[in-house]
Copies of this chain bind each other. A is one copy, B any other.
């Protein structure tokens, strides 16, 4: 019967992820989370003391999902073009499964900038960054790619990988009105990588 307990807590998390992602910390209602989880408010507070704690757990999860591909990319020892393909694919896989995360994270960081601190201590991203910037600079020197600021390149990669998910409803209405956006986005990983490589290769 511990099983039931664990299952209930998982249902709460599932509900909380959906509600927080859609409405944010301020807009989410504990009652709605309880309803969505199929339980009542008392039980919700029985497992999660307060809204803030629940939010933090959900938010930290999301943060990790969003920054792990970045950390993996920075630490990746592959050759540059392969590395670019890897991060595009990696982001695409994660965001297909958790499409609400970019908007969620961006939004909540914006509404409470002190949360940026949580980014800073995120494992490995900043150390790997130097390595990757070095690698890009070397590729320029070696005449493998045209001259470009490493940070510009990285920014372009993540912009094209993440933005379509963050702005999903807008993109849908604007460009892919009559199509299954999921399929479009799924096919996009390779296209983005190609687009980038085409731009920088010599």
Assembled-state Cα–Cα distance A154/B200 (Å): 19
CB neighbours (8 Å) of A110 from chain B are 22, 100, 103, 107, 168-169
Would you call the interface of chain A mostly helix, strand, loop, or mixed? Answer: helix
Are A156 and B151 in contact, with the CB atoms below 8 A? no
CB neighbours (8 Å) of A6 from chain B are none
Given A107-B110, A119-B174, A198-B200, 18 more pairs with CB closer than 8 A: A24-B26, A24-B111, A27-B27, A106-B166, A109-B169, A116-B169, A116-B170, A120-B173, A125-B174, A129-B175, A148-B195, A151-B175, A151-B176, A152-B191, A154-B175, A155-B160, A156-B160, A198-B199
Query: Which residues of A are in contact with B by a Cβ distance under 8 Å?
Result: 22-27, 70, 100, 103, 105-107, 109-111, 113, 116, 119-120, 125, 129, 146, 148-149, 151-152, 154-156, 158-160, 162-164, 166-171, 173-176, 188, 191-192, 195-196, 198-200
